[in-house]
Amino acid sequence: MDTAFTDKDTYQDIFDPEGYLNTYYNPKSGILVVDGFLNFALKKLHEAFATRGIKGKTLIDIGHGPTIYQDLSACESFDEIIGADYTDRNREYYERSLRNEPGTFDWTDAIQKVCDIEGKGTSVEDKKKKLKTTVKKTLKCDVLKSNPLEPLVLPKVDCVMSLGCLECACSNLDTYRNVLKNVSFLLKIGGYIILTEILNCSSYLSGGKRFSCLVLTEDFMRSAISETGFEIIDLEVIYRKYDKNQYELCNHDSSLFVLARKIKDV
């Protein structure tokens, strides 16, 4: 199902964090829970940080939206995490979730899953505290700019992560290539980028509103990442079983995880 391109100002005006979380991450019915993506992402993030040893001083989490699950493994491997998102509402919700404020989404199941994967006997409460102390702030971010954090110019960082964001920010494949270059601007040579994207998706429903999504394929992602000066270390795709009702909400047929190392500026 196609829909007109949803620009960044529309996200600023109408994107509803709670509606999105309930549709996609509800522990029992969330689309990205039921189709296996959340468990897949938690496992791959643990592999990247704990098994492959990706670590350093600073990680920037770009386009975090209202979710915090993506930082649960990263907070054990980096001195600080800086969040970054375009919409004021998402940044506010992200900060409220880090503070575990009443009324915010309950991530207990995901946190417990990460604690179990890590196998260190860490409690959910201890993980929440670790996350809260490691995430230092969240900044306004526009990935369509050559420096996404403009007007700020930060020192180049060790890792940039963006989960399920860039395909929503781009109206065409050329723009996506440029956005990868823009994100790479934040990263030092030898640093790492971690991406997840949903593939072959044209739109998704959230909070009763339909938003556009750039149709991406595995082949395109491989070429775009390599052409942007990265060496792919790990790329894995998981496929989704067809379910008519869920496809009407979001019509992706698979999800992709990429870990790549920046070897040059382009």
Helix (H) or strand (E) holding 38, with range, is helix 37-46
Residue 124 marked ligand-binding = no
Give the whole-angstrom CA distance, residue 257 versus residue 194: 7
Residue 25 marked ligand-binding = yes
Helix (H) or strand (E) holding 158, with range, is strand 157-163
| 212, 217, 222, 224 alpha-carbon torsion, rounded to 10° | -40
Q: 140: helix, coil or strand?
A: strand
Give the whole-angstrom CA distance, residue 124 versus residue 143: 33
Backbone angles phi, psi at 54, to 5 degrees: -70, 120
Q: 233: helix, coil or strand?
A: strand
Backbone angles phi, psi at 262, to 5 degrees: -75, 120
Residue 20 marked ligand-binding = yes
Its sign, for the CA torsion 134, 140, 146, 147, is negative
Residue 135 marked ligand-binding = no
CA distances from 220 to 160, 197, 256 (A): 20, 12, 12
Residue 61 marked ligand-binding = no
Give residue for tokens 């649960």. 72
- Contact criterion met (CB below 8 Å) for 233 and 196: no
Residue 16 marked ligand-binding = no
Residue 109 marked ligand-binding = no
Q: 136: helix, coil or strand?
A: strand
| 108, 109, 110, 116 alpha-carbon torsion, rounded to 10° | 100
| Radius of gyration in angstroms for the set of CA atoms belonging to the chain, rounded to a whole number | 17
Numbered residues of the known binding site: 20, 25, 69, 85, 90, 142-143
Numbered residues of the known binding site for S-adenosyl-L-methionine: 20, 25, 69, 85, 90, 142-143
